[in-house]
Structure 1
Amino acid sequence: MGKLEDALKALIKSEYGGVPKFAEQAGLPPTTVYNALDRGMANTRTETTDKIYRTLNVDLETASLTDFRKLRIKGGSQSDFVDVPLYGSIAAGTPIEMVAVDDYHPIPSPMHDRYPDAFLLRVSGESMNRVLPNGCYALVDPCEEVVKDNDPYAVCVNGYDATIKRVKKLANGFQLVSDSTDPTYAVQTFNYNEPGTETLTVIGKVVWYVLPFDWSF
């Protein structure tokens, strides 16, 4: 992404709080705005880019200059947030770049600096509601092994969609433990000494979570 796109993102953050509200004002889907900014706008003119410039009150001539200070950015050109991919599901064995992105959502820049490869995974269900509310977005730092027992990890069972549980390593397997106010969620044990045991694949460690913009209690 170039200086122009960084400046436009900072302007969007400054005046609208983020892409979702700006996209609503511009009459565009949020993913369309994200894609335009990711592809680059300096040498491109489309109906989408025109709407972005027009909504921001940035004229096309100014937007083509290298003196990006002429864009009316409040608070400088650096954003306090970084937009990262949001996934609804991830299957084991599928490269992350091949997974369809549901949307993008901002996380604090320091969190992105700490976990530059992390992505968001939509949480569905109450099995981890003591630490991850149903409907929140869990930030997952990709890894292939359980580094610390009983920490929350995103894992896949037999290659299917990822689930989040606290994971404990066994001598030859794993245990998945829920962290829920509902005591009916049972511990799942994967003992590879037993024939037919399903395969568990670690997708990444859950390091943080964020609530969606439309969150309500």
Structure 2
Amino acid sequence: MMSKVATTGQRLKEIMNETGMKQVDILNKSLPFQKSLEISMGKSALSQYVNDVQEPDQQRIYLLAQTLDVNEAWLMGYNVNKIKIDAETYIATPSPTTELPYYGTVSAGGFEYASVDPDLMQVPTHLIKDNNSYFILKTNGDSMNKVIANGHYVIVQDIRDGNYTLKNNDILIFKSGSEYTMKRVRKTDTMLHLEPDSYINEFETQSFEINDCLDVEIIGKVIYSFREFN
């Protein structure tokens, strides 16, 4: 059974120590892959990944795995073989899956209505932890496209049981009335800020006074994003 034993930052540092590569070398080596895969990655983003400030999304994991010629799951920190397996010569054993409720789209812009009647989707069991409630949403919009592209699915941990401690920079699902949105969160002593993370400058931070945001409810924390290829 796969389990996570390291962070992506630790894996990147391991490669750098083994090869003598620096961050700039990884970035330069990635440029042809960025062009062919149409996946961008800048100097600042790579530095955040190496130093575990931010986890790369699935697109950047794929980009880095191709650049460094390593297994994606290994790069994510799982206890698997580091060597990338050729898909044409490897017959994979199907991974155990778990069925999660899928509630349709969630806005990555302003607050929008989301369905309350879920379908079901299968996801690899290793992506979730036991004893927690999860559900799936599909991103609608570009306000988070630096980390979660429009059309990507997100696995959300339901945190309405009260055990969650708000951390700045977490990506959360918020509810206001019957409408929902997905944003990074930043909290000060007096304000709650819902911040976009986009390559498009038109999106603005939504700010609420702590003492006057009773109608804004935190529903869940985004723990994983993925794209489905049909």
User: Does structure 1 conserve the Cα–Cα contact (< 8 Å) formed by 2:135 and 2:157?
Assistant: yes
Distance 1:146 1:183, change over 3 A: farther
Aligned pairs for 1:149-164 within 5 A: 149-157=168-176, 159-164=177-182
Does the 8 A contact of 1:89 with 1:121 survive in 2? yes
Amino acid at match of 2:139: V
Provide the residue aligned with 2:149 in structure 1. Answer: 133
- 1:106/1:213 Cα in 2 relative to 1: closer, same or farther (>3 Å)? farther
Partner residue of 1:87? 103
Among residues 196, 200, 218, which one is paired with 1:178 in the alignment? 196
Which residue number corresponds to residue 188 of structure 1? 206
SS at match of 1:123: strand
**Residue number in structure 1 paired with 2:32:** none
User: Contact 1:150–1:166 at 8 Å: present in 2 too?
Assistant: yes
1:202 corresponds to? 218
Cα separation, 2, equivalents of 1:115 and 1:175: 30
Aligned partners of 1:115, 1:170: CA distance in 2, in Å?
31
Give the CA deviation at 1:198.
7.1
Structure 2 length as normaliser, TM-score?
Answer: 0.49
Q: Structure 1: which 5+ residue stretches go unaligned?
A: 1-74, 91-97
Paired residues of 2:95 and 2:124 also in contact (CA < 8 A): no
Whole-Å separation in 1 of the counterparts to 2:130 and 2:166: 17
Letter in 2 for 1:107: V
Rounded Cα–Cα distance in structure 2 between residues aligned with 1:109 and 1:86: 16
SS in 1 for 2:202: coil
Distance, in Å, in 2 between the alignment partners of 1:168 and 1:114 is 28
Q: How far apart are the structure 1 equivalents of 2:149 and 2:185?
A: 18
Contact 2:102-2:135 at 8 Å conserved across structures: yes
Aligned alpha-carbon RMSD (Å): 2.8
Task: Report deviation, 1:212.
Answer: 2.5
Cα-to-partner distance string for 1:168-189 (whole Å, 9 max, x where unaligned): 1222331000011101111111
Normalising by structure 1, we get a TM-score of 0.52
Aligned length: 129
Identity of aligned residues (%): 30
- Give ranges in structure 2 of 5+ residues lacking alignment: 1-91, 107-114
Paired AA for residue 174 in structure 2? V
Distance in 1 (CA, whole Å) between partners of 2:219 and 2:166 is 12
Question: Hey, which bits of structure 1, 4+ residues long, moved more than 3 A?
Answer: 113-116
| AA matched with 1:162 | Y
Q: What's the CA shift string for 1:120-179, capped at 9, x where partnerless?
A: 01110001011111111111101145521111000012x232210001122233100001
Secondary structure of 2:142's partner? coil
Determine the structure 2 residue equivalent to 1:148.
167
